[in-house]
């Protein structure tokens, strides 16, 4: 999947997270919020030209480590966003696997964080010379 396709997925997942939160599905909202961040981070790594092998960013731990190493520690992404994707993953794990319901305030935080994360990745890592089928990043809804 190329960076543009990943960002399309990220924007869609962030929008879905908001819809799920608004309908009272905190667990589903946390899942979609995390995956919005996951896909936006993958897109940013691709566009940045970071020397990361494709297999590494297909796993959650590998992606978060590569994102931190190549984009957060180098100062290209604010530390708060790096912490945010880590916390969103923790919340998603609770929502998806622990069986305990996620607190609605945590879910609202995750959805807001995902929207901000996707927006920053779009702004900071927009392709400099986009191809004909991807003239700009998709716009958040």
Per-domain residue ranges for the chain? 3-123
- Asked if 4 and 101 touch (Cβ cutoff 8 Å), the reply is no
pTM reported for the whole predicted model: 0.87
Distance from chain centroid for Cα 136: 18
**pLDDT at residue number 120:** 93
Query: If pLDDT is split at 50, 70 and 90, which confidence band does 126 have?
Result: confident
Query: If pLDDT is split at 50, 70 and 90, which confidence band does 26 have?
Result: very high
pLDDT tens figures, 80-118? 999 999 999 988 888 888 777 888 999 999 999 999 999
- Asked if 136 and 126 touch (Cβ cutoff 8 Å), the reply is yes
- Asked if 118 and 10 touch (Cβ cutoff 8 Å), the reply is yes
pLDDT tens figures, 34-81? 999 999 999 999 888 888 787 777 788 888 999 999 999 999 999 999
For 3-123, the fitting CATH number among 3.40.50.150, 1.20.120.330, 2.60.120.10, 1.10.3720.10 is 1.20.120.330
CA dihedral over 13, 16, 18, 20, signed as positive or negative: negative
């Amino acid at each position: 999947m190329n960076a543009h396709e990943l960002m399309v997925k990220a924007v869609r997942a962030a929008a879905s997270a908001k819809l799920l939160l608004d309908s009272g599905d905190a667990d589903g909202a946390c899942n979609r919020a995390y995956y919005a961040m996951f896909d936006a981070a993958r897109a940013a790594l691709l566009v940045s030209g970071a020397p990361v092998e494709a297999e590494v960013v297909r796993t959650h731990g590998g992606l978060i480590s590569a994102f931190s190493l190549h984009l957060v520690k180098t100062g290209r992404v604010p530390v708060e966003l790096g912490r945010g994707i880590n916390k969103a993953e923790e919340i998603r794990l609770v929502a998806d696997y622990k069986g305990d319901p996620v607190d609605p305030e945590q879910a609202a935080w995750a959805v807001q964080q995902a929207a901000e994360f996707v927006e920053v990745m779009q702004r900071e890592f927009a392709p400099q010379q986009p191809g004909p089928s991807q003239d700009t990043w998709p716009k958040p809804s």
